[in-house]
Amino acid sequence: VFSSNVFLFLFLPVFLAVYYLVPFRARSVVILVGSYLFYGWWRLDFLLLFAGVTFWCWLASHLVVRAQVRGDSVAATRAMAGGVTGALGALAYFKYFDFGVGNLNALLAGVGLAPSSFAHVILPIGISFYTFQAISYVVDVWRKDAEPAANFWDFSAFIGLFPQLVAGPVLRYKDMADQFRQRRHGLDKFSEGSTRLMAGFCKKVLIADSVAPLVTACFQQPEPSMAEAWLGAVAYTIQLYYDFSGYSDMAIGLGLMMGFRFEENFDHPYRSRSITEFWRRWHISLSTWLRDYLYIPLGGNRRGAARTYVNLLLTMVLGGLWHGASWTFVLWGA
């Protein structure tokens, strides 16, 4: 994690030293190697999955472009669908397999049948984020909203970019393509990034982590009083915002230190005057992703009021399920 000693005092300074010593044309490779080291620090086997999803979606986008050059829109759509289906299939298996088996076993037990026995599937870190980024790239290339990556290394570096790999923001290649071709490095940008990194660090460590024990204590009460329930809810509201926005600030700061400028992910969400405004201010990159790649393709608000509410409900329920594989997240989304 970004607040750990091994990241701050070993990985980051070594990475930045190598990054600035090599010429610009080699920096995508340095980003890719550094990001794979960062990700593989936990488990090497899931690094293979990460690389596999990356290659699959790059191959799909390559096939999309080839089909479009030939004027074969059917083949292009098939290639896009194959890329999206493959990426979603990996996400579904690793994130939702246990959830599905657990519900199946509950159903079997309810009718008096023996439960199924399957091995527990471990959830790879960051799979929700890098899957959404890979999908958006394939779809944008198919829609001709984005130029395909100049080479495999730029695309792989974009998917693996370690500052946003663990907790976002969810990036889109079409917003980053120009920065992979050319970006400005300088002391002012590096200083801005360092300041943003430490501001996010303080939000995470000094506020979120300090409030966390209070949250845990309140939520562990078997029969909380009204005061304890409200204290826990308010404390968790503080913890969640400062932890998540702190990580986003650190990611944006690290990006600036590398010459990248990411989109903002939070805009004072607790100032919001409505739920609609809240979702424009909270985890902006995910909210806009769900809008552009789920809500609008479902029809958005173009097919009457009833269909609009169905589309909104589906989008929010699936958005809730994206956050975690449990009925509580489905209920929260609904």
Residues 6+ apart with CB under 8 A from 225: none
pTM above 0.95, yes or no: no
Q: What's the pLDDT at 11?
A: 95
Instruction: State the Cα angle at 264 between 297 and 295, rounded to 5°.
Output: 10
Give pLDDT, residue 109: 86
C-alpha–C-alpha distance, residues 164 and 153, integer Å: 18
Q: Provide the 10 A C-beta neighbour count for residue 35.
A: 22
pLDDT of residue 45: 87
DSSP 121: P
185 is catalytic: no
Instruction: Give the DSSP letter string of 11-78.
Output: IHHHHHHHHHHS-GGGHHHHHHHHHHHHHHTT-HHHHHHHHHHHHHHHHHHHHHHHHHHHT-HHHHHH
* Mean pLDDT per 10-residue section of the chain, whose length is 334 residues: 91 96 93 94 90 96 95 95 96 93 88 82 91 96 91 93 90 92 92 96 96 96 94 96 96 96 95 93 94 93 91 94 93 94
Q: Can you read off the two tokens belonging to residue 232?
A: 């826990």
φ, ψ at 62 (rounded to 5°) = -60, -45
